[in-house]
Structure 1
Amino acid sequence: MEGIGLSCTENIFICYFIFIVYFILIILYTEITYMQMINFKHTKNVSILALGAESAGNFSIYLSHPYHSLLNKERCLIVETERSNGKIYFSKDFGDLLEETNWKKYQKKVLSYLKDNKIKPEIILTDLHPLYKTTVWGKELAKKYNAKHISIQHHFAHIFSAIGDKLINYPNHQLPITNYGIAMDGTGFGTDEKIWGGEIFQVESRKNKAESIKRIGHLENQVMIGGDLAVREPARIVLSILNKFMDKISIYQYMEKFYTSNQFELIYNQLQQNFNCLETSSIGRVLDAVSILLGFCGNVRKYKHEPIDLLEKNSTLPYSDLKPKIIFDEKEKKHILLTTPLFEYLLKNIKKDKRRLAATAQFYIAEGLYEILLKCHPEFISGSKKMPKPAYWTSRQVRHDNFFISGGIANNKIISSFLESKGVYGSKLTPRGDAGISFGQIIYHLFN
């Protein structure tokens, strides 16, 4: 009598079938749980839809009683805290909304979630940038739902995302009267219509309500020759920085590997004429420029964060002979971390270990930002203000109960690790980059 065991072909078929079923279940689970629910106590009795930014599509909804009972909780991942009067429903990251497939999927999910849960938003929050798809669509939705449309500056949302994350992570935490935030990313439309991305803010609050938010420091403005073209071609940023301390012939020695003589002439003249040139304080653009100058990336990025990723990946130990150069601009009444001296240093030492130079550049940024925080918070330097040390701080940390970091560059381990070692708080439960913007928009509005 032959054995009753399955043949090899039958075993392979069964394994394949199980794999397919498992894969389908994973997809279904991901679709079902595309919203995270966070209990968040607040006094505002309102329904809010926040549409986030554009580069990492996400949306959030804030609901107060009686909307809670309408929602299908099986469609949410739940984070419970002691702040339970309101609820924030926070979506997954839909990816870059400039890609039409992502944009259509994002729109479909927003509309279906509102419809399925019978939600009519009273307030719709979008980014301040007037040309973002989410901003344009937010205005259309405001008309559709007869809702109030409010634009929120990109980096304000970043900072309040970190503040909200801390309030969720530590439910008994009360915000001090004065708080400071570092927003670090590639691009954000500033209130002065310049491109921000390396900003320090001071937030004054009373009883967990923000009374004011003030920009008190930033990176030195550099020029993006050709606007967004400088994002795609980081050599344009290098050219504009070198122009501050080198002559034309010397600059071309560093540009000839990226541009022909005619191309260089065109870009150089564009800079001299200030034609389609935008000023930016972005950390992302500075690190892009460092990466290409040191030879870690080319002038055409293969993916969005390639220059910065390669810079961090190739970093080792920093040199210790470069200290941050900070000035106080009397006209702006702001502290400014100069980045041009960083490039002077890199060129002076260009024949040294480039991996160490890469680390040095990132530490220059981190140390400079932290030094500005201390300049704006003198009681922590003198020790004149004694504050109790919260239980969640480690012995390595300084007593900074009111310092926050957020933005895409807050995912850079070299920069964020340095700042967090000083007690600066970075989000633990929600994304630090643009995938957390809609959450930050909600928190900002609730506190204002």
Structure 2
Amino acid sequence: MTAESIRVRGLVQGVGFRPTVWRLARACGLRGDVRNDGEGVLIRVCGNIAGDDAGVNGFLTRLREECPPLARIDTIERCPIADPQALADLAHRQDFVILESAATAVHTGIVADAATCAACVAEIRDPADRRHRYPFTNCTHCGPRLSIVAGIPYDRARTSMAAFPMCPDCAAEYKDPADRRFHAQPNACPVCGPKVWLQDAAGCVLDPTALDAEDAIAAASRLLAEGRILAIKGIGGFHLACDATDPDAVAELRRRKRRYAKPLALMARDLDVIRGYCRVTGRDAALLSGPAAPILLLDRVGSRGAERDGERPRPLAPDVAPGQTTLGVMLPYSPIHHLLLADWDRPLVMTSGNLSEEPQCIDNADALGRLGQLADHLLLHDRAILNRVDDSVVRVMAGEARLLRRARGFAPTPLPLPPGFEAAPPLLALGGELKNTFCLVRDGQAILSQHLGDLEDAKTAREYERTLALYLDLFQVVPEALAVDLHPDYRSSLIGRDRAARDGLPLIGVQHHHAHLASTLADNGWPLDAGPVLGILLDGLGYGSDGTLWGGEFLLGDYLDFERVAHLKAVAMPGGIRAILEPWRNLYAHLESAGGWDAWRARFAGLEPIERLDGKPLEILGTLIARGLNAPLSSSTGRLFDAVAAALGVGGEVLTYEGQAAIALESLAAVAMDRVGEGYPFARLTGPAGELVLDPTPLWGALITDISRGCPPEEIAAAFHVGLATALSALALDLTSRCGISTVALSGGVFQNRLLLESVTRSFEVAGLRVLLQRQVPANDGGVSLGQAAAAAARVLRGISGA
């Protein structure tokens, strides 16, 4: 008898992979077995006829073609079985069987949490089904994964479902390879599974019948319809919800949450409801309805769109997304959400359950303490959330869906590193300060954490360290080197330095914008030895390799190294961090840099932006700039956007979230891009190191003059976008020609601006350049850890010290 061992690596646990193997092996007439272990799935097969290679080949072909929807096969390795004992075991097999998991060294992955599949939704809607209205219905094709897992192999005993022994019916499904719930670890039903209940902010449990409702979820829906604010425990954390068409409820939610300007996410029952408020393409519909079910940014159409019963949808409350041309919307992704929204023909606000910028609540007691003052009632359940996982955010730009926040539905799905990184040792990259993620390197793959948030917040920083410890244990990675940002005060860098000193590990510092560049290369599968590209990296700021603050960079480089060949002109940030929060400071600094404040005030006395600045403590700021005190120079593109927004009076006097002024400016420009011809001009200078400098001085004369002429603000905002895109493109084309480069990579948070990204991309494509854009990880700092990991791995592989 001949037999062989087949090793399948990838995302193959907890997704119905073994039942698929079992079904296909039997269909192909094979005998043998399959089991999970730490490396993935191990299959042993022999044909009914000795040496039946055709049967095995056909089986593997079908396995690739009929792979379960949540699974991903990375590699299939085949080898003959020579061990006499193994051959004897197989000789006694009369058919094909599924074996228990083996506890071996971990080399496989955890599948991301997945939205409820159509079959499970049908069950909870069917009055005749035993899971009718059961809010924890799932199968191997859907349901919680990362949010409930404590270790791998991914078995029920290593999840928060271990607290709920299965009833006989659920156990029968769990043990039946022909059932779609075979080894569905969160499998449960109303008899044996978690329960949901409704209580008020004081902790008193409410009787649903008192609200004329059949259960707690129906009662919660009634309370929302009455204008109440609810805290709802979901898959990876809590949401705060209210009727998105109720102005009073939305305004009160903002007041309680202390989220005064940032747009609020929405959840709608189905695509028809969303179409009443947003433009939805076929691609959009597929993204919204897919297993990841992210928040998707869509162009807003107000109340225009689908009509129901002869009436248009009610308009959204004005405070949902004030001044925005887009809305962030998602479809229900858990049974709780499906049941809650069943009768709603309008959206609910579904925003993270926390005070502004704090980590999202995941624990019932914590929620009662922290959210009891924010919500009127809480919809709770007793399935523990072991790992906090926020909603992912996606935007379609330049023809592709691009992640702005990588979390639920995507993390921690491993990303294969490009060719050349196969032998990279285990590494840990600790990420940046804002929108933090960290990244593990193992077996030629990058494992990014879910979005963790801003480490400036102490609670987020504690959550960061807890999640880091979990991942190192979960994936059994023992790093041989650490990668950190060069900034001396980033909390992630401090943690990295402490860990390196404690464990005696090499510490590799990666410059912030080089990490953005390397992240884009890795995201696009750029091989290790493929050579340099021209990176255009635009963001708020990052610590430069010369000790200054960068943020508008042209880097000629690859994974190993870079040269700063051009940048935006450095302008002072008077007041340091206060200039990030108060855009008017940047307007003053730019005008001071572009000819001097006194000249602008004399020329445009009485003009609104000049008058607004004249009431500020400009003499003090001028002294700070002149003496170089708490007014660091920065080439930040983000601060340029802030300055233009301040000139137009949009985005707020004091910002309450990162990118607020730039987002307001993009929204303003979006309505007038087709009315603008040439944009505002930029100049080019030569810097002290021979690099080119893009100088915004000329744009200010044109922009302030247009304001004085009464030009519509939206046209001024559009002219700024067009001018910046033109200047960036022209400079890049000159640099690529001079350097003999044919590929351009774009990254940094500023390139989340769709108008700018698409304008620049079009220019390069017309010129015949290849353009690399981020897609699988965010262009913002949420993707920095991938770049740190790739750059560090490249240095280790080439024997280059990095500290």
Using the size of structure 2 for normalisation, the TM-score is: 0.46
CA distance in 2, matches of 1:55, 1:250: 35
CA distance in 2, matches of 1:109, 1:193: 31
CA distance in 1, matches of 2:662, 2:427: 35
Q: CA deviation at 1:115?
A: 2.9
The higher-RCO structure (CA 8 Å, 6+ apart) is: 1
Q: Which residue of 2 aligns with 1:47?
A: 426
- Partner of 2:212, secondary structure, is helix
CA distance in 2, matches of 1:447, 1:283: 29
Corresponding position: 1:155 with 2:532: no
Compared with structure 1, are the counterparts of its residues 47 and 175 closer, same or farther at alpha carbon in structure 2 (3 Å cutoff)? closer
- Partner of 1:11, secondary structure, is coil
Structure 1, unaligned runs of 5 or more: 1-5, 65-85, 205-209, 386-399
- Partner of 1:337, secondary structure, is strand
Which protein has the bigger helix share? 1
1:145-173 CA distance string (max 9 Å, x none)? 221111110000001111111118xxxx7
CA distance in 2, matches of 1:258, 1:327: 28
Compared with structure 1, are the counterparts of its residues 328 and 248 closer, same or farther at alpha carbon in structure 2 (3 Å cutoff)? closer
Say if 1:255 and 1:264, in contact at 8 Å, map to a contact too.
no
Corresponding position: 1:56 with 2:439: no
- Partner of 2:520, secondary structure, is helix
Which of 531, 541, 557 aligns to 1:187? It is 541
Which of 287, 290, 308 aligns to 2:644? It is 290
Which of 400, 415, 419 aligns to 1:38? It is 415
Say if 1:234 and 1:299, in contact at 8 Å, map to a contact too.
yes
Corresponding position: 1:300 with 2:654: yes
Compared with structure 1, are the counterparts of its residues 264 and 189 closer, same or farther at alpha carbon in structure 2 (3 Å cutoff)? same
- Partner of 2:495, secondary structure, is helix
Q: Which residue of 2 aligns with 1:264?
A: 618
Q: CA deviation at 1:265?
A: 2.1
Q: Which residue of 2 aligns with 1:67?
A: none
Q: CA deviation at 1:15?
A: 3.8
Q: Which residue of 2 aligns with 1:222?
A: 571
Percent identical: 24
CA distance in 2, matches of 1:129, 1:115: 28
Using the size of structure 1 for normalisation, the TM-score is: 0.80
Q: CA deviation at 1:330?
A: 6.0
Q: Which residue type is aligned with residue 214 of structure 2?
A: N
- Partner of 1:49, secondary structure, is strand
Larger radius of gyration: 2
Length, aligned pairs only: 394
1:255-286 CA distance string (max 9 Å, x none)? 5425646x222222322333222111111000
Structure 2, unaligned runs of 5 or more: 1-207, 222-231, 235-334, 337-380, 390-407, 766-770, 796-803
Q: Which residue type is aligned with residue 194 of structure 1?
A: T
Say if 1:176 and 1:402, in contact at 8 Å, map to a contact too.
no
1:203-237 CA distance string (max 9 Å, x none)? 26xxxxx4541111111111111211211111111
CA distance in 1, matches of 2:682, 2:217: 66
Q: Which residue of 1 aligns with 2:586?
A: 237
Compared with structure 1, are the counterparts of its residues 63 and 347 closer, same or farther at alpha carbon in structure 2 (3 Å cutoff)? same
Compared with structure 1, are the counterparts of its residues 150 and 259 closer, same or farther at alpha carbon in structure 2 (3 Å cutoff)? farther
CA distance in 1, matches of 2:217, 2:685: 70
Compared with structure 1, are the counterparts of its residues 182 and 9 closer, same or farther at alpha carbon in structure 2 (3 Å cutoff)? same
CA distance in 1, matches of 2:217, 2:635: 58
Q: CA deviation at 1:123?
A: 0.7
Question: Which structure 2 residues correspond to residues 21-420 of structure 1 after superposition, within 5 A?
Answer: 22-23=335-336, 31=389, 34-40=411-417, 41=419, 42-64=421-443, 86-167=444-525, 176-203=530-557, 210=559, 212-243=561-592, 244-248=594-598, 250-251=600-601, 253=605, 254-258=609-613, 260=615, 263-315=617-669, 316-317=672-673, 319-322=676-679, 324-329=681-686, 331-350=688-707, 351-378=710-737, 402-420=743-761
1:366-385 CA distance string (max 9 Å, x none)? 221111111112279xxxx9
Say if 2:414 and 2:445, in contact at 8 Å, map to a contact too.
yes
Q: CA deviation at 1:312?
A: 0.3
- Partner of 1:54, secondary structure, is coil
CA distance in 2, matches of 1:257, 1:225: 17
Compared with structure 1, are the counterparts of its residues 265 and 328 closer, same or farther at alpha carbon in structure 2 (3 Å cutoff)? closer
Compared with structure 1, are the counterparts of its residues 366 and 51 closer, same or farther at alpha carbon in structure 2 (3 Å cutoff)? same
1:397-426 CA distance string (max 9 Å, x none)? xxx851110010110011111122233221
Q: Which residue of 1 aligns with 2:21?
A: none
1:316-337 CA distance string (max 9 Å, x none)? 2263344643424163221211
Q: Which residue type is aligned with residue 225 of structure 1?
A: P
